[in-house]
Amino acid sequence: MKLRTSQKVHYESGPNMTPLVDVVMVLLIFLMMAGKFTGQERYLVSNLPLRQTGAGGATPPPGGFPKDEPLEVEVTSPVPDRFVARVGQYRAESAAELQQILKQLQAQLIDAGKQQEDLQVVIAPDRAVKYKFLIDVYTAAQLAGFQKVGFSTSR
């Protein structure tokens, strides 16, 4: 009797992908674990004021040094968790107040015929003022519209 053989079977041929998948998975996990995926870091970019005196000796800009003396913001810290900023006769105890004062002063200076690009702010902090307050003052000056802001040596 003739035995009925099983139907002819076609097996899928091709390379064995298992080792490839293993290696690729290991690579994937390594890259996911080892990579640094923190977002972009953030910075306060500065345009430093230009003065004819002091350290540095930078090459003067094409238009020369601004004629006007920069606005000086004195910063003190009577208690460790507060700061007081003084600009001339004005006094501010928060960054928002300081920003308003600087905006007013800037408007007055521009009304008096000064050029926006000549206006500079120099922050003159006390030695004990915390860095975070200086960044607040710096931010307030930039938010008020001053493009050139820098620090002077402590008093």
Partner 1 sequence: MKRRGLPQVHSSHPNVTPLIDIVMCLVIFFMLVAKIGVTTGADPTIEVPVSSLSRALQIDSLSNTIVLNVREKKPLDEPLVTAIVDGSSAQAQEIRVVDPSTGKRPLLEVLRRLRFGNDSKPGGTGVNGDNDEFRVIIRGDKEMGYRFLEPVLVACAEANVNKVIYQTKSRSELVEDNSK
Quick one: which of 2, 4, 40, 89 contacts partner 1 (CB under 8 A)? 40
Q: Using the rule CB under 8 A, is 74 a contact of partner 1?
A: no
Ordered strands of the 148-151 beta sheet: 90-92, 84-87, 71-76, 120-125, 148-151
What single DSSP character describes residue 139?
H
Q: Using the rule CB under 8 A, is 128 a contact of partner 1?
A: yes
Largest CA distance in the chain: 119
Q: What are the Cα distances from residue 28, in Å, to 23, 35, 102?
A: 9, 11, 53
Q: Using the rule CB under 8 A, is 138 a contact of partner 1?
A: yes
Q: Given the complex with partner 1, which of 4 and 10 has the nearer CB atom?
A: 10
Give Rg (Cα) of the chain.
32
**Cα 155 to chain centroid, rounded:** 26
Q: Using the rule CB under 8 A, is 9 a contact of partner 1?
A: yes
- Look at residues 63, 85, 60, 64 and name the one whose alpha carbon lies nearest to residue 75: 85
Q: Using the rule CB under 8 A, is 36 a contact of partner 1?
A: yes
CB of 118 to partner 1, least distance (A): 18
Quick one: which of 84, 142, 146, 148 contacts partner 1 (CB under 8 A)? 142
Find the binding residues for partner 1 in span 93-112 (CB under 8 A): none
* Residues in contact with partner 1 by the rule CB under 8 A: 7-12, 17, 20-21, 24-25, 27-28, 31-32, 34-37, 39-46, 48, 54-58, 125-132, 134-136, 138-139, 142-143, 151, 153-154
